[in-house]
Structure 1
Amino acid sequence: MSLPTQTSAKPSRVLLIAVCSAFLVGLDSMITVPLVPAIAEDTGTAARLGGLFVSAYALLFALSAPLCGAMSDRIGRRTILTTGLVTFALGNILTGVTSDFVPLLVCRGVAGLGAAMIMPSVYAMIADSFPFERRGKVMGIVVAGLLSSTVIGVPLGSYLAYLMGWRAAFFAVGAVAVLVCALVFALIGATPPRAAAGQQSAASPVALYLGMVKRAVTTPAVLCVLGCTLLWAFALYGMFSNIGIFYAERFDFNEAQTGLAIMGSGAGSMTGALLGGRIADRLGKRTVLVAAALVAATGVTSVALIGEHLVPVLIVFVMWGTAVGVGQPSLNALVSELRPEMRGTALALNSSAQYGGMMLATSVAAVLLDNGVSFSVIGAICGVCALAVLPLLVGVRVAGKAEAAEAPAPGMEAKA
């Protein structure tokens, strides 16, 4: 017997909204990358501080996502989703009308807060609307929507910025967010809070959030899983968030040209993600993740070291993106090695770890670049972070086995 769902909409409508929302969030997290040189010139900002635009977005997402997920249980999925879309649209539109550095950071933070409301609500609506046996396939479609933004959305936004100025790209993202919000009202019925079905914890969302954080930092296996996610994100975004500046300085690329380069890397990442899971099922997830980490570390280091030779840089850039995509499904699967009572905490905080890694990487890279550190050093730091995932993989297994050995056998607690 299947449990009743919270949504009154057809599952196909929920999936459409989920894919559109994921595409928007993926697009907005990366849209500044090719636009940083133009934004910096227009606002009088040092170009090498441009990574902080991504940092502000990622910081608000990392801090808010678990809390927003808990709030969607209490208030209702559609309410949090539409509030997030409005906040997201507002953050992007304000970004387009702002001309000073600090207000721009605030506006990017507002957009990140909106994204933090959107994604937990989207994933929860998918879980509410689809049976368990179909959920993996559907989640894969949503993730593909998220990744496709790099292949389709970022190049289109870059070309729009090239034709009409960087502000037009943010206005366009904000306008699409408003349209998606209207679609939600048209296609998705009101979703009652889980409390209505007697499924809600008595604890407040803030208490639940703090409880998850406390459990994470006191559970070695969960801490290792979140550490892997954070380091993987750092290894990617430390260099990738500054790739627009890199191509502008090394090869005098404009926004449209940088967008095309990102499209190639994004296509490699999408292909890698689609194939990575299948390869991991055959060869083993740890084997695939080790190989992906080695290739990603080589790629991100080599991009910065090759120098002024464009074709080799582009080839290695695609190779790097593909390796990241291949490793991502295996990285996500680490959660499955945890005991069931730990998985919820790891899943709830995993997006915070990812965006926390993004925030740390972009902040550190911006400070180093602004102080004259070369891209070669940034690439090397990112390469080391990719390799640092490997010992943590051992930590996940060792800590998981230790905690499993300490756990009471099934039925023992009931007999006590």
Structure 2
Amino acid sequence: MILLLMISVGLIGANSLVLSPIAAEVASGVGAERTSDVMTAAAIYGISVALSALFFAPRADKVGPHKALETGLVLILIGLGFSIAATNLTVLSIGQGVVGAGAGMALPAIYSLAAIISPKGQESRTMGMVLTGWTLSMVGGVTLSAYVADLIHWRAVFGLLGFGSLVILIVLLKASFPPHVPATKVTSPISAVQVPGILPALFSVLMLGTGFYGVYNYLGAHLTDALHRNVGEAGWLTLSYGLGFGAAMLFDPWLDKVGPRRGLLAVFSGLAIYYVGMSAWTHSYAMIVALMFGWGVLQHLGLNLTVSRLSRLDPSQRGAVMGLNSTTMYASVFAATVLYRPGYESFGINLCLWISAALTLMGAAEALWARTSRTQPEKSV
């Protein structure tokens, strides 16, 4: 079951990350004037995930997370069809919007299933194994996609994602899941946002996500615009990052011992230092590739901690709560893409890194406050 969820995360995650390394090829294919214009589709994908997770993810509390996951995959297939056929930026954006709607239903459902099947006391370890699907998306999906776009065509990238999504949907339809007990009360974004401790937890998600996507979404453009590298070479960045993300799974048992708050204080502080350090090496392709590994380690730990923190708050509303998690994370995709763009176009990737360092410092401050505050109700997290 864990393997199935891991692969599902990998397929969904690949689409959310794939536009950056192939942005130059896609821009040429849809008639965009600049490489960065393609990131408009990435922004629409992000806001679509956010809205879908906000309004549709709570339905999983009623019909079951496995049903929500299957529905999400169907929408992803439809959206990928539009993306393959896109001849202009508008159609591509529509396609990515539909894919985002499917992902907004699927990802919260996956995280909910991971929490359900996890043995007590091993929540972070189980969640970490499922989150390793992001490694599959980067090492096997995004890295391969960069070369497929370079050697065949960027449309073939979306075709491969569609084929993989179809296969996993067929497997899911035949798989058996734990019995689902429908929620005794109607859950919604309004009921979920009233759960004690959820707003500080969502703040952590926002700082982690905006800091990551603000840099990641413009790395592909930095390679082609500033370092004059070809699209295929962006694959080494995602490969290095993905290997670091996967290697971090070795630290997941430690997360169960220290808990999300103490762990987040360490991870956010480490990320702030790392972003500043990366800004000194953006002129070197080789150093960027090397530094991506450590970035992947820190992001895996941060993602695991933020998701685990939320999943423990109220099991009876887990679908709605995890929907708010995805809403916040993918709102950060939209916010980062839009808000970082003027800085990138005026001052380059270094300003993006410095802004991300500031955001992660704010995340560390919240984690420190959460540890020292005596008014926090959820002691277990």
TM-score (ref. length: structure 1): 0.79
Max Rg structure: 1
Query: Which amino acid in structure 2 is aligned with residue 265 of structure 1?
Result: Y
Whole-angstrom distance in 2 between the partners of 1:105 and 1:348: 23
1:298-337 equivalence runs, <5 A: 298-335=273-310
Whole-angstrom distance in 2 between the partners of 1:295 and 1:130: 28
Whole-angstrom distance in 2 between the partners of 1:339 and 1:181: 29
Q: CA deviation at 1:65?
A: 1.7
**Could you list the per-position Cα deviations for residues 31-67 of structure 1 after superposition, in whole angstroms to 9, with x for gaps in the alignment?**
1120111111222322123333322112111222243
2:86 to 92, 98, 114: 98
Q: Which runs of 5+ in 2 are unaligned?
A: none
The answer as to 2:202 corresponding to 1:251 is no
The answer as to 2:342 corresponding to 1:354 is no
**Could you list the per-position Cα deviations for residues 327-349 of structure 1 after superposition, in whole angstroms to 9, with x for gaps in the alignment?**
44344454489698998875552
CA contact (8 A) 1:299 1:317 kept: no
Q: CA deviation at 1:231?
A: 0.6
**Could you list the per-position Cα deviations for residues 342-380 of structure 1 after superposition, in whole angstroms to 9, with x for gaps in the alignment?**
98875552222222222211221234435x342221221
Q: CA deviation at 1:393?
A: 1.3
Whole-angstrom distance in 2 between the partners of 1:44 and 1:303: 33
Query: Which amino acid in structure 2 is aligned with residue 295 of structure 1?
Result: G
Q: What RMSD in Å do the two structures reach over aligned CA positions?
A: 3.2
Q: CA deviation at 1:15?
A: 3.6
- 2:129 is matched with 141
Whole-angstrom distance in 2 between the partners of 1:30 and 1:131: 31
2:22 to 16, 30, 35: 35
1:394 to 359, 368, 372: 368
Query: Which amino acid in structure 2 is aligned with residue 167 of structure 1?
Result: R
- 1:292 is matched with 267
1:110-129 equivalence runs, <5 A: 110-126=98-114
Q: Which runs of 5+ in 1 are unaligned?
A: 1-13, 406-416
Query: Which amino acid in structure 2 is aligned with residue 141 of structure 1?
Result: M
Q: CA deviation at 1:166?
A: 0.8
The answer as to 2:206 corresponding to 1:226 is no
Whole-angstrom distance in 2 between the partners of 1:297 and 1:90: 39
CA contact (8 A) 1:225 1:346 kept: no
Q: CA deviation at 1:173?
A: 0.4
The number of equivalent residue pairs is 378
CA contact (8 A) 1:302 1:379 kept: no
Moved more, 105-114 or 72-81: 72-81
The answer as to 2:4 corresponding to 1:20 is no
Whole-angstrom distance in 2 between the partners of 1:20 and 1:41: 31
CA contact (8 A) 2:30 2:88 kept: yes
Q: CA deviation at 1:107?
A: 1.2
Whole-angstrom distance in 1 between the partners of 2:321 and 2:300: 21
Distance 1:40 1:367, change over 3 A: farther
